[in-house]
């Protein structure tokens, strides 16, 4: 089982007896699929294993960015009482339009949690889940560029692939509604960080809150120096209460694999050459 680390050709060459990799999470962008297939190593993930936890963190960052929470925390601790200045710097979530890029397991949990915040929620996904779910979640589908132009807050909830890398590049960031806030609890490679920094400097973007970065671990960045950026170290899905549940699910998948039983739907991503039968 792996969490945080990746699987590449060098690791597989050294682990000659390895036959199965279980990711304790959903993202597989740090697993080399070609190398796994070449070595006949099966790969599984946990579908929606931390969806609720990431959704909570997304709301946390959304509110923290709009209210400039880390900045006011630092200033207050330092003895600077910015009550008057706060009125001009803080923004509320109520009454805003929130755009969710991706309405998978995490995006849906975010939409559910936004229901009590008096916001309009629009979303874009390459696969629409159906009008019944849209109605249940209180969300409206729109095309990607339309979402960017409509949303006061844009939150990313898609995997990192060749197609989604830098999906928020300079051009797309330029399509954002003036003064928008960007939230990313998905993968760092989804955003062109240099373009984001420039948009913040120009005040085209009000704030950003990032749990993931293009390079991790990241020990220094010009984004860290900005009071309009909230950062956390890729911990959106990491809660003490959920780890035992995730670990037990991973162990169960290993047991199923060794027993020749099919894994839960959507979790076996790379099957062995001779696929195990139930």
Active-site residue numbers?
187, 216, 234
Q: Do strands 205-210 and 139-141 pair parallel, antiparallel, or not at all (unpaired)? A: unpaired
Q: Which of 186, 46, 168 lies closest to 107, judged by CA?
A: 186
Using the 8-state DSSP alphabet, how is residue 263 labeled?
P
CB of 121 closer than 8 Å to CB of 139: yes
Q: What is the rounded (10 degree) CA torsion for 30, 35, 39, 44?
A: 30
Phi, psi angle pair for 96, to nearest 5°: -90, 165
- What helix, strand, coil percent values describe the chain, rounded to 5? 40, 15, 45
Chain centroid offset of residue 43 CA: 21
Q: Give me the residues paired with residue 180 across strands.
A: 205
Rounded to whole angstroms, the Cα distance separating 70 from 275 reads 50
CB of 50 closer than 8 Å to CB of 237: yes
DSSP three-state, residue 159: coil
Rounded to whole angstroms, the Cα distance separating 6 from 140 reads 36
DSSP three-state, residue 171: helix
Rounded to whole angstroms, the Cα distance separating 255 from 215 reads 34
């Amino acid at each position: 089982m792996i969490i945080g680390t990746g699987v590449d050709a060098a690791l597989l060459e050294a682990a000659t007896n390895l036959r199965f990799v279980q990711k304790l999470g959903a993202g597989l962008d740090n697993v080399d699929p070609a190398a796994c297939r070449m070595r006949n190593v099966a790969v599984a993930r946990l579908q929606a294993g931390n969806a609720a936890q990431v959704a909570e963190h997304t709301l946390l960052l959304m509110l923290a960015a709009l209210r400039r929470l880390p900045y006011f925390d630092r200033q207050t601790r330092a003895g600077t009482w910015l009550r008057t200045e706060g009125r001009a710097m803080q923004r509320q979530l109520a009454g805003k339009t929130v755009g969710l890029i991706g309405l998978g397991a995490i995006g849906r949990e975010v939409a559910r949690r936004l229901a009590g915040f008096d916001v309009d929620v629009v979303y874009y996904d390459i696969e629409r889940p159906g009008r019944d779910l849209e109605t249940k979640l209180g969300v409206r589908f729109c095309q990607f560029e339309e979402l960017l132009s409509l949303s006061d807050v844009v939150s990313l909830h898609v995997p990192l692939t060749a197609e989604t890398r830098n999906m928020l590049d300079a051009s797309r960031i330029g399509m954002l509604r003036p003064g928008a806030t960007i939230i990313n609890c998905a993968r760092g490679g989804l955003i062109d960080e240099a373009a984001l920094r420039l948009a913040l400097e120009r005040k085209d973007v009000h704030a950003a809150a990032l749990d993931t970065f293009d390079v991790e671990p990241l020990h220094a960045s010009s984004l860290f120096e900005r009071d309009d950026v909230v950062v956390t170290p890729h911990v959106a899905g990491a809660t003490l209460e959920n780890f035992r549940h995730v670990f037990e699910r991973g162990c169960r998948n290993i047991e199923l694999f060794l027993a020749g039983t099919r894994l839960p739907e959507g979790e076996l991503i790379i099957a062995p050459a001779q696929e195990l039968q139930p």
